[in-house]
Structure 1
Amino acid sequence: MKPKTGIGAHVSTRGGFLQAAKRAYEMGATAFQYFPKNPRSLNLKRLDLKDAALCREWCEEQGLASIAHSPYPTNPALGMTRGEAGFHAIVSSIRNDLEISDACGSVGTVVHFGHVQTKDPLEGYHNLIQCLDTALEGWQGESKILLENQAGDHGPMGTTMEEMIQIRKLSRYPEHIAFCFDTCHAFASGMWTTGDEAALLDKGRKLGYWNVLAAVHFNDSKYASGLNKDRHARIGQGYIGYESMQRLLQSPEIQQAVVVLETETGEDGTYREDIQLMRSWL
């Protein structure tokens, strides 16, 4: 049984998925995030069922929760703008990520909302829904697509809770879609500013956003709120600051999710120090 609040960080899968889990466990984590395949390519990965099963079993025994993160080129809002082959490459990659994360026993696979340059502002949303629906068609696994909010560095798309909720609502398979909330992205997009945690949490409650939250990228920000700069900082070492990060982590809405760091490591090359700090807040 996994603990109430899984806290950890993104770890390398060098040596396999089981090794990734052990790498997280050794630094005191109760959760971790990993890339299911090469993070810089949409090329599909052949699933090593034995390694995935060992990872799943070991995590269940040790009480570790996990989430996968789709490769950087994954942009579901592109649709057919780069041709039919480009669309199907993204769809197939997302499905591949789901199959791997499901075999590893992960909660889901994080997928960025995506962006596209188009004269019609609704085209990107239509593309996103079509991509998610196609990837999820016939999906029977437990692992979900975890739709992540964006910083606004590529435009305003995907920067609000309302968009997340609406996309899930319009999908044919909402039961297979949950949310990943990135604190730095939300801060960068101007969704909230330091000291406004109560208002942010209350808005999410009213919209029903937190009801579907499954994962949190717990990152401070190297830039001030509203500048649309996606630059993560270690917790308490950025513009969000210790107190605001602490208030967020202590909220029941955040604690229900898998919480992982995507920041620089400590002096020992691990996230042990920051994980211990987060644990002390609980």
Structure 2
Amino acid sequence: MTSKVKVGGHLSIRGGYAGAAKTASLMGAGAFQYFPKNPRSLGVKAFDPRDAEKCRVWCKENDILSVAHTPYPSNLAVDSQKDPEDYRRIVESLRNDLNIAEACGSIGIVVHFGTSKAGNPLQGYKNVIQCINEVLRDWSGAAKLLIENQAGDHGDMGMTMEEMTQIRKLCESPEHIGFCLDTCHAFAAGVWQGAEDNSFVEKGHKLGFWEEVRVIHLNDSKYPLGSRKDRHARVGHGYIGEAGFRKLLTALDTRDKAFILESETGEDGTYKRDMEQVSLWAEA
């Protein structure tokens, strides 16, 4: 356990990747998340490598962790046989995201586990593995593909640590795969019970889950435990509450992990207040 947790929020790249990094510094953040391109569409962005390099250098010099979040339409569980065009676009988009993250010196790209239309659950998992293998084929960069757990609002897939660790094991390049834990999703899915949970962290260690977690989305939940609703609240302002976050943060080794706030900002339009709270809870 370190005395300082690297926490920050999701920031706009309206001023470029370097601009987002500098905004993080102004807030006193130790980490930040950004969309590498338009979050609503799949496409290949011709990004400015000079801007990305400035972001990388700034983050290195100021000891800031950055992470990219892939566009919302990215779906690892797409069926390459039934939806070949969507599959191609998703693979090309994710590879583009990896290249941007690598250029920016980011930890990697966060992508949701995926939603399958296949009637057979096993086929859905096969689709996820196939897509990840295609995206990572011949990839030699330091940026990782970071699988994020899901709340269960779009189906049963991707809610558990067992699924995430097993998918990683079955992929061709597990060394390029890590995890992103979303606390709201875990709570909504019923796999983490917040302050009342005495087994979640230990179970994660037994599965080898925490060792591969690079990013934690610190989101409270606007709905009760097991609701399967992906609705974020500010940390300490929802059903997880301060006690739940305190218990999780003090139980984890926070070193080299980026803690990202994805809820609304405070009254001043920044994440400063929530960042201060998280730092205090982690040091308790």
* Alignment TM-score, normalising by the size of structure 1: 0.96
Cα offset for 1:47?
A: 2.2
What amino acid is the match of 2:170? L
Tell me the SS of whatever aligns to 2:172.
Answer: coil
> What's the offset of the Cα at 1:253?
3.6
- SS of the equivalent of 1:205 reads helix
Deviations 1:190-235 (A, max 9, x none): 0021323431101101111111111100000000011100000001
Match of 1:164 in 2: 164
User: What CA distance in whole angstroms lies between the structure 2 residues aligned with 1:185 and 1:253?
Assistant: 21
**Which residue of the partner structure matches residue 200 of structure 1?**
200
Alpha-carbon contact 1:4-1:256 (below 8 Å) kept: no
Structure 1 unmatched ranges of 5 or more? none
Cα distance in structure 2, aligned partners of 1:273 and 1:132: 37
In 1, are the aligned partners of 2:4 and 2:279 still within 8 Å (CA)? no
Q: Which amino acid aligns with 1:221?
A: S
The 1-side partners of 2:254 and 2:157 are apart by 23
In the alignment, the residues of structure 2 paired with residue 74 and residue 97 of structure 1 have an alpha-carbon distance, to the nearest angstrom, of: 11
* Corresponding residue number in structure 2 for 1:249: 249
Contact 1:59 1:65 in 2 (8 A): yes
2:47 paired residue number? 47
The letter of the residue matching 1:212 is: E
Partner of 1:234: 234
- Amino acid paired to 1:26: L
Q: Does residue 141 in structure 1 map to residue 106 in structure 2?
A: no
CA distance in 2, matches of 1:256, 1:197: 24
- In the alignment, is the contact (CA less than 8 A) between 1:159 and 1:186 conserved in 2? yes
* DSSP 3-state at the match of 1:198: coil
Matches within 5 A, 1:72-221: 72-80=72-80, 83-221=83-221
Task: Sort the Cα spacing of 1:82 and 1:23 in 2 relative to 1 into closer, same or farther, 3 A.
Answer: farther
Equivalent-residue separation in structure 1 for 2:102 and 2:141 (angstroms): 6
Q: Please state how far the C-alpha of 1:255 moved relative to its aligned partner.
A: 4.7
The 1-side partners of 2:66 and 2:143 are apart by: 10
The 5 Å alignment of 1:261-280 reads 261-280=261-280
Tell whether the 8 Å contact from 1:197 to 1:248 is kept in structure 2 after alignment. no
Deviation at 1:236, TM superposition (A): 0.6
Quote the offset at 1:182 in angstroms. 0.4
Distance 1:159 1:31 in 2: 25
Partner of 2:29: 29
Instruction: State the Cα RMSD in Å.
Output: 1.3
- Contact 1:70 1:111 (C-alpha < 8 Å) held by counterparts: yes
Superposed CA deviations along residues 80-118 of structure 1, whole A, max 9, x for unmatched, are: 265211101000011000000010000010010001122
Structure 1 residues 69, 57: CA separation in 2 closer, same or farther (over 3 Å shift)? same
- SS in structure 2 opposite 1:181? strand
3-state SS, counterpart of residue 201 of structure 1: helix
Query: C-alpha separation between the residues in 1 aligned to 2:81 and 2:111?
Result: 19
Partner of 1:78: helix, strand, or coil? coil
Q: Which amino acid aligns with 2:101?
A: S
Whole-Å separation in 1 of the counterparts to 2:254 and 2:200: 12
TM-score by length of 2: 0.96
Shift of 1:26: 1.0
Which residue is equivalent to 1:65? 65
Q: Mark the CA change 1:108 to 1:61 in structure 2 (over 3 Å): closer, same or farther.
A: same
Q: Given residue 124 of structure 1, which amino acid in structure 2 is its aligned partner?
A: G
Task: Report the residue type matching 1:240 in the other structure.
Answer: I
* Aligned-residue offset at 1:276: 1.1
Unaligned residue ranges in structure 2 (runs of 5+): none
Secondary structure at the counterpart of residue 85 of structure 1: helix
